[in-house]
Structure 1
């Protein structure tokens, strides 16, 4: 029998919750050339208040479950997950270990070092925890641990130049370790605006501003609501859609109560393209981002965005060309939103430009090609082509 000489890739992500890391992992899983790559995806379970990316998809994806690899940090469970990852590596003998998200990056890179397999190690930063997550001692511990983990990595992949520069400024890794590979997205067919509003039970003629993402602290749904109230003072017939869920759902419900008739809380939806199609403006209010897929998807749908100028957002939204950028003040954000709502010609021009820009720059095919090239470069001259032992794959 001819030996299997494919490049073996073991990808590790803590959980497949709705968001950028899971979207990129799935795009890669589906797009890698199966004749050249044997790609295995290892993940934990999604928390109860998060949307499960795998459940919201039509197509099944085979994954290997590591039960204790989820978001929560518990030393005993994390040790079990580490042991399981080491065993999986010794069985599969990957040429590449590719980790995503902070916890999976820590356990996966440690397992690669302890396994004795000697794979090339890639870690993806889809954003970072330097701003908006931790302060003081916790931030210091995060930076120190990432510096150590960077020394165990062959490549550090970031989704944008801004994210890379922030990490380098914090002393995490060396410039030659970094490679910038922007995200890749494939948006489903975008319905006609009237049909989209009908499907979501939204008014046909009112201005609509949408938020798409987790209801969590760093995304600042409270700032979205404050901005919405400021917009309503000037555009009283405007409606606001919040598509997503998270630990701040109940808090958001309390905050919108005085203007409840202007808000629509949709939860997680499989047909996110319907939300974009129904909107006049997409509003992102985060304290910190990598290159948020919400803005990429909105652009592909031809909808202009207003966003805080954080992380690598400016690498997606070209201010004044494909959308409008703002500081974090809700009054400033509201002024940008009102500008687009009151000037349909400007909004249409920015939306058309956003569609051309995002479609050309953030397609999933480009993501796959860039990642394949990275994997091949890491494997040149170092591949152990002994076949792997069989491993059980469970959905």
Structure 2
């Protein structure tokens, strides 16, 4: 390819399923300065049963599909992905390679060796650590993969300081490699509350609790069901919105069967703003989190949250100011939820404080500016400067 003086960035993400990492990648792809950066996204296909982030968002981001790249570890598919990435590197000649998962990082490291491309390497961590929800063998394999992906990287990026510190304690990377870049989120226009509830077949005056995200073991949908049962004992008219899906959907449906009429299972939706507009409280019952985007989005929508105080949640939710944090006990989480549902003044004050805090701290423009600065800081390490400022 003919050089044009821009910094060439090869972004590699195994699949663009609905998750925080996909939201961050999309924001960067859509807003990075095209006059300074030639930024290309290389990805595989989303597995069946997962939400496709780009399709749900209706994003026009151009992607370069890599055969074999995806979620699962499959020797034949991974070999095809390795060869495809090496070929793409030789063609694109990136100055910077940016990966987002252990699989991405390992394949990119090997592909760079195969292709002979010399590029600065950035590896980002989005998933929470430790991986207590995984079986012991998978935890060990995941940790080894993370250490391998981190070794030799020029920069390691985490979405929060808590995640950085947890990774360092686990022996992943060195302190001088790390950069913290908090998430950047943007919601679409918020619909009117009455219209949102009407479109979701909800009573206009019912208390509403929402959940947005995957139904996976780390998120503990079983705990959510228990919290809901306790809330209904005290607020019988409450309704629960579940926006998302995942491998535990069937199990979750069985758990809420006695409360079925109080639930609306919405699946993955493009108009997540409608869910927030209809809600009085957003509830998260996870065992582990990094910087959960659903809680950031809730704040931007002016909705207070109740959440377990795990991982980086406290970096997103200011306890007793923008929401209420608690331990894993379902009774405590139910008590916090009932408190917000039955005290509209408190919920309104927390929601407004959450709106002010999240729109200031987690704007997409700030994410893009931080990412551009990171790219500039590394561009000189792999090539002479060509009219691009180095910071």
Any idea what SS the aligned residue of 1:56 has? helix
Q: Does 1:109 align with 2:101?
A: no
Give the drift of 1:282.
0.2
| Match of residue 168 from structure 1 | 168
Unaligned runs of 5+ in 2: 387-391
| Match of residue 181 from structure 2 | 181
| Match of residue 262 from structure 2 | 262
Give the drift of 1:223.
1.2
Conserved? CA contact 1:127–1:158, under 8 Å: no
| Match of residue 46 from structure 2 | 46
Unaligned runs of 5+ in 1: 387-395
Give the drift of 1:338.
0.8
Distance 1:127 1:3 in 2: 35
Residues paired across the two proteins, number: 385
Structure 1 stretches of 4+ moved >4 Å: none
Give the drift of 1:129.
4.8
Conserved? CA contact 2:121–2:153, under 8 Å: yes
Distance 1:153 1:357 in 2: 33
| Match of residue 97 from structure 1 | 97
Give the drift of 1:133.
3.4
| Match of residue 392 from structure 1 | none
Q: Does 1:307 align with 2:307?
A: yes
Using the TM superposition, name which of 127-136 and 204-213 deviates more: 127-136
Using the TM superposition, name which of 299-308 and 146-155 deviates more: 146-155
| Match of residue 205 from structure 1 | 205
Q: TM-score, normalised by structure 2?
A: 0.95
Distance 2:233 2:67 in 1: 49
Conserved? CA contact 2:67–2:84, under 8 Å: no
Q: Does 1:344 align with 2:344?
A: yes
Distance 1:178 1:59 in 2: 30
In the TM superposition, what whole-angstrom CA distance separates every residue of 1:69-90 from its partner, at most 9, and x where no partner exists? 1111111211111111111111
1:138-153 to structure 2, matched below 5 A, reads: 138-153=138-153
Distance 2:197 2:176 in 1: 48
| Match of residue 323 from structure 1 | 323
Using the TM superposition, name which of 315-324 and 213-222 deviates more: 213-222
Give the drift of 1:106.
2.1
Q: CA RMSD in A?
A: 1.5
| Match of residue 24 from structure 1 | 24
Give the drift of 1:109.
2.7
Distance 1:283 1:325 in 2: 10
Distance 1:80 1:202 in 2: 48
| Match of residue 71 from structure 1 | 71
Distance 2:3 2:66 in 1: 28
Conserved? CA contact 1:214–1:244, under 8 Å: yes
